[in-house]
């Protein structure tokens, strides 16, 4: 690559979909003490106002509340012990709510700083039911299933048009035997968001265009359905980047690509020419209910909320487990792109339904699972 294009090439290819919503370079040394001082870029605040219907002040407050809830969640879970039934962020109160099966544990959880709700089933029981349902073979009319801590049930999502399908009914009947299950309807079946080769700032493997997630030391992470181990990867300028070193799909939807041949990794995400490049500072997991944003090579920046965790998504290629569902839209070519909450990496785009004109839902594969699976280290500022 020519020297003049090295920086542009490296950033756009490696970080095109990274945590664009993270901390802006101008605030890298700041130590935030309240919502007004949160390291939020103008682009993040603007996207939250557009997609979540917030004012700038409300967006700043939301970020501060979500940061506190994210830090509190593991402490509250420890306080609940075996009575823990799951947790979620409540935008109405700005606090973390923790479900508990034992009223005697509620006081300890509240003392830790969280709200509580008494529920019937523990997270362990619901997770066990999920595993039993995961072992079933799901027909196309079943979109997904997940643990819902707010209702203390496993929710099975069935496509509207398939409600009367005999195979769907049989699956639901078997699922009900696996544990506490409720059925909800969804408008469409999920699909992955890979796309044919088009222009922009993507990466390519074969004739497929996908989006890069987050830089790790030695490469980047992305979606597994975008390529298989050993396949070559080309950057936005069609130059060779590296190869898929590991890939899993279906079952999981994650992969990682090594970086070489003049390319390198930095904890920065390209701002698409409209905002400053952004920094990534960690990968603390945001709770259900938190606001979250996504970047992709087709639709770029969009925000929404975390709707569910530990959801199994039934794509036509097979089921993918332990996904996180969001209200963020996406389209073909966004696969592999980054989901971020505040300045914390959350995961890589897998698939969903709908589009960014009429809306929809999108799932991502959590980043920490990918890092642990391949022994990778997130590149952070």
Active site residues: 225, 253, 335
Q: How far apart are the first and last CA of the chain?
A: 26
Calpha distance 331→272 (Å, rounded): 17
What CA–CA distances, in Å, run from 55 to 50, 51, 164?
9, 11, 43
Going by C-alpha positions, the residue among 220, 192, 198, 209 that lies closest to residue 330 is 192
H-type alpha helices, 81-222? 103-112, 123-134, 166-178
Calpha distance 197→205 (Å, rounded): 9
Q: In angstroms, how far is CA 329 from the centroid of its own chain?
A: 12
What CA–CA distances, in Å, run from 53 to 45, 194, 305, 325?
11, 29, 12, 20
Q: What is the DSSP letter of 22?
A: S
Going by C-alpha positions, the residue among 119, 140, 131 that lies closest to residue 178 is 131
**Would you state the structure tokens that stand for residue 379, as one six-digit string?**
């590149």
Going by C-alpha positions, the residue among 273, 272, 278 that lies closest to residue 25 is 278
**Would you state the structure tokens that stand for residue 80, as one six-digit string?**
């609940």
Calpha distance 32→169 (Å, rounded): 52
Calpha distance 171→178 (Å, rounded): 11
């Amino acid at each position: 690559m020519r020297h003049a294009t090295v920086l542009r090439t490296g950033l756009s290819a490696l970080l095109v979909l990274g945590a664009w919503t993270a901390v802006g370079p101008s605030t890298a040394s700041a130590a935030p003490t309240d919502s007004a001082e949160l390291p939020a870029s103008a682009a993040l605040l603007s996207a939250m106002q557009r997609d979540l219907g917030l004012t700038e002040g409300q967006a700043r407050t939301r970020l501060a509340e979500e940061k506190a809830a994210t830090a509190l969640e593991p402490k509250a879970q420890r306080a609940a012990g075996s009575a823990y039934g799951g947790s979620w962020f409540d935008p109405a109160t700005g606090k973390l709510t923790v479900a508990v099966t034992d009223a005697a544990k509620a006081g300890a959880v509240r003392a830790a700083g969280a709200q509580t709700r008494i529920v019937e089933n523990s997270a362990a029981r619901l997770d066990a039911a999920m595993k039993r349902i995961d072992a079933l073979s799901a027909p196309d009319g079943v979109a997904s299933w997940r643990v819902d801590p707010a209702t203390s049930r496993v929710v099975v999502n069935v496509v509207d048009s398939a409600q009367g399908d005999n195979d769907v009914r049989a699956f639901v009947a078997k699922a009900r035997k696996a544990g506490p299950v409720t059925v909800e309807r969804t408008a469409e079946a999920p699909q992955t968001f890979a796309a044919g080769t088009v222009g922009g700032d993507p990466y390519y493997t074969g004739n497929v265009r996908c989006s890069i997630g987050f830089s790790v030391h030695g490469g980047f992470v992305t979606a597994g359905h975008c390529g298989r181990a050993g396949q070559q990867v080309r950057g936005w300028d069609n130059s060779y980047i590296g190869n898929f070193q590991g890939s899993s799909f279906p079952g999981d939807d994650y992969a990682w690509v090594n970086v070489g041949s003049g390319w390198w990794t930095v904890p920065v995400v390209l701002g698409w020419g409209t905002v400053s490049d952004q920094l990534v500072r960690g990968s603390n997991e945001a709770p259900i209910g938190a606001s979250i944003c996504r970047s992709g090579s087709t639709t770029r920046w969009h925000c929404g909320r975390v709707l569910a965790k530990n959801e199994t998504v039934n794509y036509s290629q097979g089921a993918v487990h332990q996904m996180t569902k969001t209200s963020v839209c996406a389209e073909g070519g966004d696969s592999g792109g980054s989901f971020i909450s505040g300045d914390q990496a959350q995961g890589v785009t897998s698939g969903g339904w709908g589009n960014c004109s009429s809306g929809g839902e999108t799932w991502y594969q959590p980043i920490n699972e990918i890092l642990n699976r391949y022994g990778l280290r997130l590149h952070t500022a």
